[in-house]
Amino acid sequence: MTGAANSGRRYLAVAETLREMLERRRWQVGERLPAERQLAEELDVPRATVREALIVLEVEGRVEVRQMSGVYALPALPPATVSPATQLADIGPFELLRARQVVESAIAAAAALTVSDDQIDAMRNALSREEEDIAEGRGSYEGDATFHRLVAQSTQNEALVATSEGLWSIRGTSPLWARIHLRIFDQTYRRQWTHDHHEILRGLERRDPESARAAMWRHLGNVADTLLTVSDPEFTVPSKTASRRRALRSHK
Same domain, 162 and 118: yes
CATH number at residue 10: 1.10.10.10
Q: How confident is the model at residue 83 (pLDDT cuts 50, 70, 90)?
A: low
Query: For residue 161, what pLDDT is reported?
Result: 97
Query: What local confidence, expressed as pLDDT, does residue 6 receive?
Result: 41
**Per-residue pLDDT at 37:** 92
Q: Examine the pLDDT at 186 and tell me if it is beyond 50.
A: yes
Supply the CATH number for residue 140's domain: 1.20.120.530
What pLDDT does residue 252 have?
36
Q: How does residue 242 score in pLDDT terms, banded at 50, 70 and 90?
A: very low
Residue 58 has pLDDT above 60, yes or no: yes
**pLDDT tens profile 137-164:** 877 889 999 999 999 999 999 999 999 9
Task: Return all residues near 111 (Cβ < 8 A) that are at least 6 apart.
Answer: 151, 152, 154, 155, 204, 212
Q: Cβ-count burial of 189 within 10 angstroms (0-12 exposed, 13-18 middle, 19+ buried)?
A: middle
- 5-14, 107-116, 169-178, range with greatest mean pLDDT: 107-116
Number of domains in the chain: 2
Are 18 and 142 contained in the same domain?
no
- Quote the domain boundaries for residue 107: 93-242
169 & 211 share domain: yes
Which of 55, 84, 113 terminates a domain? The answer is 84
Question: Which among 167, 173, 132, 127 has a CA at the least distance from the CA of 150?
Answer: 127
Q: Which run of H or E residues covers position 151? A: helix 142-153
Examine the domain organization and report whether 52 and 123 are in the same domain: no
> What is the distance between the alpha carbons of residues 224 and 204, in angstroms, rounded to a whole number?
23
Q: Are 21 and 38 in contact (CB under 8 A)?
A: no
CB 92 within 8 A of CB 52: yes
Confidence of residue 235 (pLDDT cuts 50, 70, 90): low
- pLDDT for res 84: 52
Residues 148 and 214 grouped into a single domain? yes
Q: What is the mean pLDDT of residues 8-27?
A: 89
pLDDT interval class at 193 (50, 70, 90): very high
- Cβ atoms of 78 and 8 closer than 8 Å: no
CB 228 within 8 A of CB 51: yes
Residue 166 within any structural domain of the chain? yes
